[in-house]
């Protein structure tokens, strides 16, 4: 009986919890061993010295702690796959062209570096900084284009059509030094798919029956709550005549969005309120004079009206819609929401004459009131009242380059892309866009 009680008590001692002090756990374990040890035998029986039992108990407790630590390290080693980890982040050396980018904070950024001028490899190399571009981590990930989701400074998801097999994504939990593979659902492996992760566990994938998710494609939504360990199909495949859903984004576990290109010229957005099980089209208010009627159907923002993904800040959000190139000189409007995207209002016209293509998000809201943008003419625009009034300036950049993309990450710091005739470079401003510095990258 004493042995059974001891085993039960030690089982409890094995799980002290993450916040339980280790020295207190050790002393309690020793106490349990001393209390459960039988009393010394009577006359005629062997008698152990009084100091021996505490020594044995302490040795056993230390052995238990060491075993638990070793097991934890073994589990961790089995759950990650080392990438090309340098001994430390390396200072940037070259101002190389950038193929793709994602900015998170004033210190955290990820760029896909075009190394063909120095390596002739063709693919871009993903590099990550956590100190504002002073030093960079070479991740070992190569691709032509990537989709990056930042959860925090340590946790990132990376997806690319040419990253490993066609149904693989990569995730890091230490800022880019180590990566492990996340598998998409098997039926998605030969299709175009668009992932979005809300946190470390929960994510969605939209798969398409037509390459590129173009006109006539059926969309299927998949859901995971264990970092891609298991996927569940949500609802039935869906499509709408004359409407092409674009991209995928979730503001929380229930409210998700897709942009839309509409053949009839009307501005719309695709919304779910039940975590992706069902989706519906939400019509945006008509601009003055109504929507332009295009001559041809949409092909991912070609021909008809096109709505990009909204930016959400709790229940508030902003969305951008573009009317076709054939309508006057190309009109861009913004709408805002205060009810998690169920209704949209407050139409405002964007002042830029030639906004950049939708392949790179033009709009970079810092919060519901402060938005920034740059156009192909190199003009920087910003508003501090949710689009009611706009201000503009022409930043000073190296000769032959103009500001083509901007992303605010704090009240003063902005990341950006400076574009030349054939390439583009990474730049950064710490004075709200007045001056910009070219950021050097690692190179080959």
**Cα–Cα dist 214/221, whole Å:** 16
pLDDT of amino acid 241:
87
The DSSP code sequence of 124-167 is: EEEEEESSTTSEEEEEEEEESS-EEEESSSS-EEEE-TTSSSTT
Convert the pLDDT of each residue in 385-413 to its tens digit.
Answer: 998 999 998 888 877 788 888 899 999 99
Convert the pLDDT of each residue in 278-287 to its tens digit.
Answer: 999 999 998 8
Convert the pLDDT of each residue in 147-166 to its tens digit.
Answer: 889 999 999 999 876 544 55
**Cα–Cα dist 348/389, whole Å:** 9
The DSSP code sequence of 71-99 is: HHHHHHHHH-EE-S--SS-EE--B---EE
Largest CA distance in the chain: 109
Closest CA to 381 of 318, 433, 311, 418: 433
Give the chain's end-to-end CA distance (angstroms, integer). 68
Other beta carbons within 10 angstroms of residue 432's beta carbon come to: 16
Decide: 105 and 153 in contact? Cβ < 8 Å: yes
Is the confidence at residue 200, as pLDDT, over 70?
Answer: yes
Q: What's 262's DSSP letter? A: E
Pairing of strands 402-408, 414-419: antiparallel
Is the confidence at residue 89, as pLDDT, over 80?
Answer: no
pLDDT of amino acid 178:
93
**Cα–Cα dist 144/148, whole Å:** 13
Is the confidence at residue 343, as pLDDT, over 50?
Answer: yes
Is the confidence at residue 344, as pLDDT, over 60?
Answer: yes
The tokens describing 217, both together, are 């494609």
Average pLDDT over residues 163-173: 73
Average pLDDT over residues 360-375: 78
- Distances in Å between the Cα of 37 and the Cα atoms of 54, 100, 176, 423 are 10, 66, 50, 76
Convert the pLDDT of each residue in 409-425 to its tens digit.
Answer: 999 999 998 888 778 88
Which of the given ranges, 70-79, 104-113, 201-210, 237-246, has the highest pLDDT on average?
Answer: 104-113
Q: What's 393's DSSP letter? A: E
Decide: 159 and 146 in contact? Cβ < 8 Å: yes
Listed by start position, the domains of the chain span 2-39+51-79, 219-349
> ∠285-289-290 over CA atoms, to 5°?
45
Pairing of strands 124-129, 135-143: antiparallel
The tokens describing 185, both together, are 């659902």
Q: Give every CB contact of residue 428 below 8 A, 6+ residues apart in sequence.
A: 132, 133, 413, 414, 415, 416, 436, 437, 439
**Cα–Cα dist 46/37, whole Å:** 15
Q: Where are the alpha helices (DSSP H) in 192-241?
A: none
Pairing of strands 156-159, 147-150: antiparallel
In angstroms and rounded to an integer, the radius of gyration of the C-alpha atoms of the chain is 28
Query: Considering the entire predicted model, what is its pTM?
Result: 0.74
Span of 8-22, 359-373, 377-391 with lowest mean pLDDT: 8-22
Average pLDDT over residues 63-71: 48
Q: What's 308's DSSP letter? A: P
């Amino acid at each position: 009986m004493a042995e059974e009680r001891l085993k039960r008590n030690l089982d409890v001692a094995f799980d002290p919890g993450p916040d339980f002090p280790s020295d207190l756990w050790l002393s309690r374990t020793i106490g349990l061993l001393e209390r459960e040890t039988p009393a010394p035998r009577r006359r005629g029986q062997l008698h152990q010295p009084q100091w021996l039992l505490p020594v044995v108990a302490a040795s056993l407790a230390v052995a238990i702690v060491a075993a638990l630590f070793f097991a934890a390290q073994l589990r961790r080693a089995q759950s990650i796959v080392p990438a090309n980890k340098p001994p430390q982040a390396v200072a940037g050396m070259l101002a190389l062209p950038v193929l793709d980018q994602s900015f998170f904070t004033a210190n955290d950024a990820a760029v896909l570096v075009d190394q063909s001028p120095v390596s002739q490899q063709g693919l871009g190399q993903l590099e990550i900084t956590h100190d504002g571009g002073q030093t960079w981590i070479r991740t070992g990930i190569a691709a032509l284009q990537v989709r990056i989701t930042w959860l925090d400074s340590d946790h990132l998801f990376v997806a690319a059509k040419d990253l490993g097999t066609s149904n693989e994504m990569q995730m890091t939990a230490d800022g880019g030094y180590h990566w492990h593979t996340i598998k998409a659902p098997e039926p998605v492996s030969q299709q175009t798919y668009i992932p979005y992760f809300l946190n470390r566990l929960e994510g969605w994938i939209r798969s398409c029956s037509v390459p590129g998710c173009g006109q006539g494609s059926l969309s299927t939504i998949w859901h995971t709550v264990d970092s891609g360990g298991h996927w569940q199909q949500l609802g039935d495949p869906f499509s709408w005549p004359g409407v092409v859903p674009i991209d995928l984004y979730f503001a929380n576990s229930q409210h998700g969005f897709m942009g839309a290109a509409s053949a009839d010229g009307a501005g719309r957005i695709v919304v779910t309120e039940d975590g992706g099980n069902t989706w519906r089209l939400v019509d945006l208010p008509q601009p003055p004079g109504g929507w332009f009627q295009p001559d041809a159907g949409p092909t991912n923002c070609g021909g008809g009206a096109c709505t990009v993904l909204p930016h959400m800040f709790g229940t508030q959000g902003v969305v951008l819609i573009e009317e076709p190139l054939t309508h006057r000189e190309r009109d861009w409007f913004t709408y805002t929401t205060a009810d998690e995207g169920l209704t949209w209002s407050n139409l405002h016209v964007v002042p830029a004459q030639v906004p950049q293509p939708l392949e790179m998000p033009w709009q970079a809201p810092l919060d519901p009131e402060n938005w920034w943008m740059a156009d192909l003419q190199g003009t920087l625009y910003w508003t501090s009242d949710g689009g009611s009034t706009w201000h503009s300036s022409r930043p000073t950049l190296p000769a032959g380059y103009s500001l083509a993309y901007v992303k605010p990450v704090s009240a003063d710091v902005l990341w950006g892309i400076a574009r030349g005739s054939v390439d583009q470079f990474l730049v950064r401003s710490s004075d709200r866009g007045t001056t910009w510095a070219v950021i050097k990258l690692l190179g080959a």
